[in-house]
Amino acid sequence: MSFIDNVFSSLRPELSGDAENRARERALDGAIRFPLLSLIKSSSVWLVIATIFGLIASIKLHSPGFFADCPILTYGKVEPLFWNTLVYGWLFNAGLACAIFILTRLGGRSGAPTTFLTISIVLWNTGVMLGVIGIMAGEQLPYAWLEFPSFVGPVLFIAFVGIGLSCLLTFHARVYRSSYVSQWWILAALFSFAWIYTAAQVMLVCLPAQGAIQALINSWYVENVFGLFVAPTAFATILYLIPKTLGSHVIGYKYSAYAFWSWILFSSFAGVSDLSFGPIPVWVSSLGVVASFGLLLPTTTLSIQFLSSLFRKFSVIWSSATARFLLAGSVIFLILMYYKIFGSLRGSLATTQFSQFDSGVDLLALLGFAGMVFTGGIHFILPRLFNKELPSSTIVDLQFWLQLLGVMLVSIGLISGGVLHGELINESIANSIAVVTALKSGFFLTTLGMFFFFLSSVCGVVTYFTILLSNRVEAEQSVDLINEAPELEYTAP
């Protein structure tokens, strides 16, 4: 029975000590504790499920006999299951957890109707689960990242609108009237996803567009899920946690608006460059290439902001799990944008277009950049929600290194393997067996990386459930466990 007691004590902590200490923060965290916990729990569990699917899919690439007799685990099902659980299961839950925490903290008051928000979150995860079952049952749709059967679309949409409305109410209820750049990014992400999901569902599922337009809409949607939802939420998280964990202002904050507007403008067009050489007019993909290249502008501003702020307080990075994840995410962001910008040019696409290169870059974006940042954010949030310490910093350490190693192996395997892949299939006498044999080492590397990533996701689940179920020790019964944050130091230049 002690587990149940511990859960109750985790969910409704009765703390002793000075009631004035962090009174406002504790009230805020208490108001959003339950929805945030359900988001973080879902994200951790979905990550484990997603990495299992990813592991099976990557094993099937070099050993096609693996699970060959299992009709619900064919490559054609496992591959979309992996991407969809990764995006809608893990990243949306983790990103929305960070977003709600940031909006509540920066606004200084929680306006979210907790029950309504929790129901929306449960509905979202039910939708994802129905989608997974649907794909396993063979009901999948043929569009990348939209493979969930058509009845899941409205469920996810209603759930997202519910979560988004709660976020908007929280923003509306804020007491600090000035806004911070994280709030801009989060609001942009919420509105953008509602729009792109509606547009894609209507034009691909309800009233399907004809012919090549479908491919156009699909690649626009896939790029925008990253560019207009996942990346903005990750930017918001980095930009909030930099002053929070480092105790210094964001360098070059004055130019945030340039980065914000140019990112929104360019990334919404960038996806269609994938279709160069495809059956669409040349000017469409040219627009996509120029828009991808335009991302150089926000990338420059944002990476200078992130990296120079982080390097200025480099010593903190070794004594803070969160800042460590942020640094890894920021460095990966720079590498990722290099591949995205220069990979969209026609010269690169001539080699990489039909290869594994794109999956490598997408995984670098999702697992490496956004995943690192959200995991860092969750490590910052969890102790504050429970008023408990992270159960073991060794596990946190392990999770960080496994995740970094996994991302490196997966992306090296798929990106450099993808370039080789493209070169081989471009040869006029391409022999497909020879191509697959040549790519095997890259696929083995990917499998190894996915395995490390799976281990790191297990670390995440262990952290979550241990902190939820562990006994509250004496220090954790006091409100003095977490120190009150000082004022941000700043002297005008």
Partner 1 sequence: MSEDSQNKNLPGIDEGRASDESIVKTHARIRREPSNASPVLFFTSMALITVLIFGWFYFRRYMGGEENTQIYLHERSDIALYQSWVDRPRGPIVYDYYAIGEDLYTRQACIGCHMPDGQGKPGEFPPLVGSEYVILEDPTLPTKILLSGLIGPITVKGNEYNGNMPAYGGGLKDHEIAGLVTYIRNTWGNEASETTADDVAAVRAKIGQRPQWTAEELASYLD
Asked if 186 interacts with partner 1 (CB under 8 A), we say no
Asked if 416 interacts with partner 1 (CB under 8 A), we say no
Nearer Cβ to partner 1 (140/237): 237
Q: Which of 75, 111, 129, 244 binds partner 1 (CB under 8 A)?
A: 244
Asked if 408 interacts with partner 1 (CB under 8 A), we say no
Asked if 463 interacts with partner 1 (CB under 8 A), we say no
Q: Position of tokens 């923060």? A: 25
Asked if 389 interacts with partner 1 (CB under 8 A), we say yes
Binding mask 317-356 for partner 1 (x = CB under 8 A): -xxxxxx----------------------x---x------
Asked if 121 interacts with partner 1 (CB under 8 A), we say no
Asked if 128 interacts with partner 1 (CB under 8 A), we say no
Stretch of 201-209, 285-293, 365-373, 413-421 contacting partner 1, by CB under 8 A: 285-293
Asked if 469 interacts with partner 1 (CB under 8 A), we say no
Asked if 315 interacts with partner 1 (CB under 8 A), we say no
* Total chain residues near partner 1 (CB under 8 A): 79
Stretch of 51-59, 62-70, 240-248, 436-444 contacting partner 1, by CB under 8 A: 240-248
Q: Position of tokens 């190693």? A: 405
- Considering only residues 366 through 385, tell me which ones interact with partner 1, judged by CB under 8 A: 379-380, 383-384
447 C-beta neighbours (distance < 10 Å), count: 23
Q: Which of 194, 304, 436, 455 binds partner 1 (CB under 8 A)?
A: 304
Nearer Cβ to partner 1 (59/112): 112
Asked if 487 interacts with partner 1 (CB under 8 A), we say yes
Q: Cα(437)–Cα(61) distance, rounded to whole angstroms?
A: 11
Q: Least distance in Å: CB of 135 to partner 1?
A: 31
Q: Least distance in Å: CB of 412 to partner 1?
A: 27
Q: Least distance in Å: CB of 65 to partner 1?
A: 34
Contacts 24+ apart (CB under 8 A), 379-384: 379/321, 379/322, 379/325, 379/463, 380/241, 380/244, 380/245, 380/322, 381/36, 381/40, 381/97, 381/98, 381/101, 382/40, 382/463, 382/464, 382/467, 383/467, 383/482, 384/25, 384/29, 384/482
Stretch of 52-60, 76-84, 312-320, 435-443 contacting partner 1, by CB under 8 A: 312-320
Asked if 492 interacts with partner 1 (CB under 8 A), we say yes
140 C-beta neighbours (distance < 10 Å), count: 19
Asked if 137 interacts with partner 1 (CB under 8 A), we say no
| CA nearest neighbour of 98 among 382, 399, 317 | 382
Q: Which of 50, 128, 181, 336 binds partner 1 (CB under 8 A)?
A: 181
Q: Which of 108, 111, 113, 149 binds partner 1 (CB under 8 A)?
A: 108
Q: Which of 75, 191, 253, 465 binds partner 1 (CB under 8 A)?
A: 253
Asked if 26 interacts with partner 1 (CB under 8 A), we say no
